[in-house]
């Protein structure tokens, strides 16, 4: 049974998605427990895969026993072994926390929403697990098409925002597929490990350069890397709470993973940092992403939109860290994939709770929230500390590694951008805390001041949020273990 764990990670939610869709026609109340079962089984299998990788080394799983390049294979090392339980865990916790919002917002479409939710999770898990460049495209499309539909099932303006996302996302996917086509023409293989062994004699080929450029452009479009971020803000802002708290923490991080996978496994660090000389250019764009995201976040008057622009800056952290070309930079980038997924998820759970209780999320509507929703706002305070980079929360440690990597690479402007972004985060979150703590709620009575009544979100929404807020501190305290046992073995030994 243990040998089948890599397949179960992906197949379980895929199979349950179809069962949920069928069950929605019979009895809709069956959909939620079925979806929970699918994601819980996937999460358990992904934890089992991570333990096996740590104990026995990389796993190569051949679907139905077919050998690559004819068959499909999953190649799992500690890098994707870390990200698989992250995706499955966030999808599971989010589903538990979002049940009330899903049932209130979706009505008769609840069953379809659960099925699409599972398909999106399946696609994201498959992208991370696969060792085949073409199957990565197929799974990317499964995740993309289902997430377009999920995002469209929100605010009335979400349909137009989702259409914009679909158009730009399709362009990104097409670029990626075209790049894979070039790789297949020059190597005759779609297996990532095979391509990596066949490419070195072809490094001087213009077709390889074209494949690399087109693939990278497609990946940058899909991750909303500045200035290719036009689809991001409206898509996440107008989406339903359950959809945005699944897609916002995971999609961009999974695409950063794909970028690092192509740097490590497909094109190899020798090609990235020696054969071509574009790392400085990408780092400059990362600096622009960090500064641009910070500036746009300051101008936002809607809490959810503000968070989407913070995501834009965080993408700059991860891309820039990887392209610094130093071991500390890669460590910071990979660690920030993990930490930022937790932080963003926590922030969007806060948004979901506020949306459930308040409806409107404009900053001017958050008065006196520390008294009315103390647990939700307490969790937001921990999330803010992590995003700013206050120890011992996890956000501090990934920024520490990124700064170390930038120092080693001689990139002082990247360090300055990181510090500027942290300062802007202080301004952004303290603006919310000032309104939520010091500004009294508008009085609807006949004069006089009365103690505000506590109107916290339901327990099923608050408990998952508190669990995730606690995880930000736990992840920070165990950063050393995480880096030594999982992240460091994933980075090629030639990178210093």
Q: Give the pLDDT confidence score for residue 449 in this predicted structure.
A: 55
Q: Give the pLDDT confidence score for residue 454 in this predicted structure.
A: 75
CA nearest to 104, candidates 315, 357, 427: 357
pTM score, whole prediction: 0.94
pLDDT at 447 over 60: no
Q: Which of 339-348, 444-453, 470-479 has the lowest mean pLDDT?
A: 444-453
In this structure, how many other beta carbons lie within 10 angstroms of the beta carbon of residue 439? Answer: 13
Q: What is the largest CA-CA distance in the chain?
A: 82
- The residue-averaged pLDDT of 28-53 equals 95
- The residue-averaged pLDDT of 486-495 equals 90
Confidence of residue 424 (pLDDT cuts 50, 70, 90): very high
Whole-angstrom CA distances from 265 to 194, 269, 354, 490 are 9, 8, 42, 11
Q: Give the pLDDT confidence score for residue 442 in this predicted structure.
A: 62
Which residues have C-beta within 8 Å of that of residue 92, sequence separation ≥ 6? 36, 39, 40, 42, 43
- The residue-averaged pLDDT of 177-194 equals 92
Q: Give the pLDDT confidence score for residue 147 in this predicted structure.
A: 93
pLDDT at 411 over 90: yes
- The residue-averaged pLDDT of 457-464 equals 93
pLDDT at 448 over 70: no
Q: Give the pLDDT confidence score for residue 300 in this predicted structure.
A: 87
CA distance 327 to 493: 9
Higher-confidence residue: 64 or 90?
Answer: 90
Confidence of residue 441 (pLDDT cuts 50, 70, 90): low
Q: Give the pLDDT confidence score for residue 116 in this predicted structure.
A: 95
Q: Give the pLDDT confidence score for residue 231 in this predicted structure.
A: 79
- The residue-averaged pLDDT of 92-110 equals 90
- The residue-averaged pLDDT of 194-200 equals 91
pLDDT at 71 over 90: no
Task: Give percent of the chain with pLDDT exceeding 90.
Answer: 69
pLDDT at 117 over 90: yes
pLDDT at 72 over 90: no
**What does the mean pLDDT of the chain come to?**
90
pLDDT at 446 over 60: no
Task: Give percent of the chain with pLDDT exceeding 70.
Answer: 97
Q: Give the pLDDT confidence score for residue 382 in this predicted structure.
A: 96
- The residue-averaged pLDDT of 31-54 equals 96
Q: Give the pLDDT confidence score for residue 119 in this predicted structure.
A: 96
Q: Give the pLDDT confidence score for residue 443 in this predicted structure.
A: 59
pLDDT at 367 over 90: no
pLDDT at 155 over 80: no
Q: Give the pLDDT confidence score for residue 445 in this predicted structure.
A: 52
């Amino acid at each position: 049974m243990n040998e089948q764990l890599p397949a179960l990670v992906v197949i379980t939610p895929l199979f349950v998605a179809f069962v949920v869709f069928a069950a929605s026609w019979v009895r809709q109340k069956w959909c939620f427990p079925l979806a929970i079962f699918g994601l819980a089984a996937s999460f358990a299998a992904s934890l089992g895969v991570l333990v096996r990788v740590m104990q026995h080394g990389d796993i190569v799983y051949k679907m139905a026993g077919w050998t690559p390049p004819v068959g499909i294979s999953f190649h799992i090392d500690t890098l994707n072994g870390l990200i698989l339980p992250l995706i499955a865990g966030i999808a599971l916790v989010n589903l538990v926390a979002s049940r009330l919002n899903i049932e209130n917002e979706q009505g008769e479409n609840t069953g379809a929403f659960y099925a699409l939710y599972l398909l999106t999770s399946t696609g994201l898990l498959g992208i991370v697990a696969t060792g085949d460049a073409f199957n990565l495209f197929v799974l990317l499309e499964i995740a993309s098409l289902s997430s377009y539909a999920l995002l469209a099932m929100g605010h009335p303006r979400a349909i137009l925002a989702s259409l914009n996302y679909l158009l730009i996302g399709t362009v990104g996917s097409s670029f990626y597929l075209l790049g894979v086509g070039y790789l297949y023409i020059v190597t005759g293989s779609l297996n990532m490990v095979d391509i990596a062994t066949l490419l070195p004699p072809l490094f001087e080929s213009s077709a390889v350069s074209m494949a690399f450029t087109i693939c990278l452009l497609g990946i940058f479009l899909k991750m909303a890397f500045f200035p290719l971020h036009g689809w991001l803000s409206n898509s996440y802002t107008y989406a339903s709470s359950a959809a945005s708290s699944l897609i916002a923490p995971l999609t961009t991080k999974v695409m950063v993973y794909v970028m690092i996978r192509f740097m490590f496994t497909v094109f190899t660090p020798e090609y990235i940092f020696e054969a071509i000389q574009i790392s400085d250019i990408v780092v400059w764009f990362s600096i622009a992403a960090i500064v641009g995201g910070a500036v746009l976040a300051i101008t936002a008057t809607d809490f959810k939109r503000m968070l989407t622009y913070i995501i834009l800056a965080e993408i700059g952290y991860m891309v820039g860290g990887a392209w610094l070309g130093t071991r500390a930079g890669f460590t910071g980038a990979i660690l920030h994939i993990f930490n930022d997924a937790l932080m963003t998820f926590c922030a969007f759970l806060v948004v979901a709770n506020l949306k459930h209780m308040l409806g409107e999320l404009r900053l001017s509507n958050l008065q006196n929230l520390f008294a009315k929703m103390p647990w939700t706002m307490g969790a937001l305070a921990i999330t803010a500390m992590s995003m700013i980079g206050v120890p011992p929360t996890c956000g501090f440690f990934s920024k520490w590694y990124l700064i170390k990597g930038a120092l080693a690479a001689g990139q002082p402007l990247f360090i300055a951008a990181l510090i500027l972004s942290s300062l802007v985060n202080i301004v952004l979150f303290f603006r919310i805390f000032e309104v939520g703590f010091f500004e009294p709620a508008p009085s609807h009575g006949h004069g006089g001041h009365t103690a505000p009544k506590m109107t916290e979100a339901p327990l099923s929404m608050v408990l998952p949020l508190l669990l995730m807020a606690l995880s930000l501190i736990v992840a920070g305290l165990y950063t050393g273990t995480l880096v030594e046992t999982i992240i460091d073995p994933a980075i090629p030994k030639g990178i210093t």
